[in-house]
Amino acid sequence: MPGLLLIISGPSGVGKTTITHEVERELGGVFSVSMTTRVKAPGDKQGVDYDFVSEAQFNKARDNGELLEWAEVYHGLCYGTPRKPVDDALAANRLMILEIDVDGALQVKEKMPRAFSIFVLPPNERVLLQRLRARGRDDETAIQRRFAKAKREIGKAWDSGVYDEFIVNRDLKHSVEEAVDLVRAKIGGE
């Protein structure tokens, strides 16, 4: 199997993380571990959930070109994708999977235009809002903030031209199968 860099994106509540992990499990891929300056929370595992680093370490990696993509979010916290594990996986003919947002996908595709990118969409806005509420993680103000952000992200995904495929997640099992089939076809067509 030739190496492939796979980008999967989608708004909060659309099911992209489940789809990403199922693609990884089904095709034997490697899931990229992001670097972050956020503090490790109870239950977080270093090098599994994130690579937790200081702001100085993050800035050094960014300034030295060691990150494929990065962003500053939520009160100055930074997140990024280290380039070395991606390069290593591709050199070993592995499937490397990045679950990143649209801005990150734009950065990665600029540096690695052969990356294959999939954006996961909700069936419609009403369903997305229901899913955000059903997660039970946020109050209504936070849900509305996530919903507004999701609508902007969907618009940007369509307009950017960075995505090779769009999957509408009406049924999770079917969406996983569709994603696996798309990736399998891309690997076979390389």
| pLDDT per residue rounded down to tens, the chain (190 residues) | 568 999 999 998 899 999 999 999 999 899 999 999 999 888 889 988 899 999 999 999 999 999 999 999 877 899 999 999 999 999 999 999 999 999 999 999 999 999 999 999 999 999 999 988 988 888 999 999 989 999 999 999 999 999 999 999 999 999 999 999 999 999 886 5
Q: How far apart are CA 154 and CA 142, in angstroms?
A: 18
**Cβ–Cβ under 8 Å, residues 24 and 31:** yes
Report the DSSP pairing between strands 4-9 and 116-121.
parallel
Query: Which distant-in-sequence residues (6+ apart) come within 8 Å of 121 by Cβ?
Result: 10, 14, 154, 166, 167, 168, 169
Identify the sign of the CA torsion 78, 49, 82, 117. negative
Run of H or E including 120: strand 116-121
* Domains in the chain with CATH codes: 4-189 (3.40.50.300)
Nearest CA-CA partner of 125 in 141, 146, 96, 97: 146
